[in-house]
Structure 1
């Protein structure tokens, strides 16, 4: 069994690797027993890989599965990268020349986000990535990602903007529930134009049927969100993936899979929703912040 709280980089890669392996096997129309027999594996070995129950995924095993499923070169390379990260616990390569601009853990996070049915998130300092404008995302990366070149930042910004397609897909768009600290509305991002455009964008998206935004005002006093930002991912029943909580700070990210802990975050989010003003009043707060920029 995997640990209940793990470093985000290897955990995200392991979970997305499992999801991708299940998808490839389905597209190849193969039963797990057929694959295991072909590779002379025990059936449980393949099951553990597909459900992300092995803390370490061997790159050689993933390469063999890609051969069986006739995966294309790009998919094969990414899945082997996922496996390498689970084994080395590092989301980096030995030289700048080998380092991908969008690293495997980011690909994994985006993949899990894209397969989620519902995301609930509390943010205390910035607008969540799914609701960011391009200029706002660039301002964040320029401040927080000083080890990256301008070219790498542009690739990461483009990837962040591309993620937002999950909110607009024709079938089963992602349901996104967001609670923001009022600090997010008051914090300047870049110049006043960037800040104003971001707040206007936030107000527009908050009118979508599948997006709900609430703002926790300063006047609410102390609340459970002060323990730190978090995101809860719940997946469609057909995805076979358990719900997860994702936590992140400057040092690292963590993935939580324990049902009891996930439930406690769900309870926390419900309490925050009850405490914060409703969507309409929250939109009024956003419009007031726009006027004050």
Structure 2
């Protein structure tokens, strides 16, 4: 495509990754090259390109963009259009569902690898993501798998963990999320993989074309669009989901731990 359009390879990569939007002048010849000639569809896409140029999201401003990884920037853009999100988090509560105190405690474990400025930016970023998720108008269906160890791990201390667990209970009570806990028992599946999220842009079972995988380990993260890898991770998620406590039992377990911490 870069060769056909006489663009640099880096330009194509930046457009594909969502780092930059595409201009109307670039989009029209690109659509011709791709064989998209239906007038109504062309005008719809051009209008969308124009709108994307006008709408600068908060995470695209210099105070955030230079301190966030390209994968996080792309993930936050995808979250805006998500229909379903599946969180596989065997160690901690996922970032978008964290309270500010819990977020800070998690990120301070990377103080030797991340600058204070970067940590502060990511604390603010996670709080804004949480606020966006709590918007009552529209939100994706969220399915969260946590290992039972998360309920015991006092990230930031007992009070911080209690507040975090109570926040999860509020989200469960409001039917904003569905949570299942992987129990400490022999027949339950072992959460072997690192944390990952599957963001589905269409609520269609098994449609890997409309989904992306975000995974992270330590300070390394990436967006994966390989259909086979997305399918495999979805299968693992489903297997663990069905092997975990059901939602009612899981909510009761979370409540018991929050009460004990109080």
Residue pair 1:167, 1:175 contacting (<8 A) in 2 also: no
The equivalent of 1:188 in structure 2 is 154
| Post-superposition offset of 1:101 | 3.2
How many pairs are equivalent? 233
Shift of 1:129: 1.0
Q: Could you tell me how far 1:72 is from its partner in structure 2?
A: 5.7
Q: 1:213 aligned to 176, 179, 201, which one?
A: 179
- Which residue pairs with 1:231 in the alignment? 197
Cα 1:185–1:112 change in 2 (3 A) is same
Q: Tell me how far apart the structure 1 counterparts of residues 78 and 101 of structure 2 sit (CA, whole Å).
A: 25
8 Å contact kept, 1:123–1:229: yes
Q: 1:133 aligns with which of 99, 102, 108?
A: 99
CA contact (8 A) 2:71 2:221 kept: no
1:176 corresponds in structure 2 to 142
Counterpart-to-counterpart distance in 2, 1:258 and 1:144: 29
- Corresponding residue to 2:220 among 241, 248, 252: 252
Q: Distance in 2 between matches of 1:200 and 1:286?
A: 8
Match of 1:16 in 2: 18
1:1-293 superposed matches below 5 A: 14-17=16-19, 20-21=21-22, 32=27, 35-36=28-29, 43-44=32-33, 69=50, 71=53, 78=60, 100-221=66-187, 223=189, 225-236=191-202, 242-250=210-218, 252-293=220-261
Q: CA deviation at 1:222?
A: 5.4
Aligned twin of 2:43: none
| Cα offset, 1:275, TM superposition | 1.0
CA contact (8 A) 1:13 1:104 kept: no
Tell me the C-alpha RMSD between the 2 structures. 3.8
Q: Which runs of 5+ in 2 are unaligned?
A: 2-12, 37-45, 204-208
Deviates more, 1:144-153 or 1:111-120: 144-153
> 1:169 Cα deviation (Å)?
3.0
Q: Normalising to structure 2: TM-score of the pair?
A: 0.73
TM-score normalised by length of structure 1: 0.66
List gaps (5 residues or longer) in structure 1: 2-10, 48-64, 82-96
* 1:170–1:147 CA distance, 2 compared to 1 (3 A): same
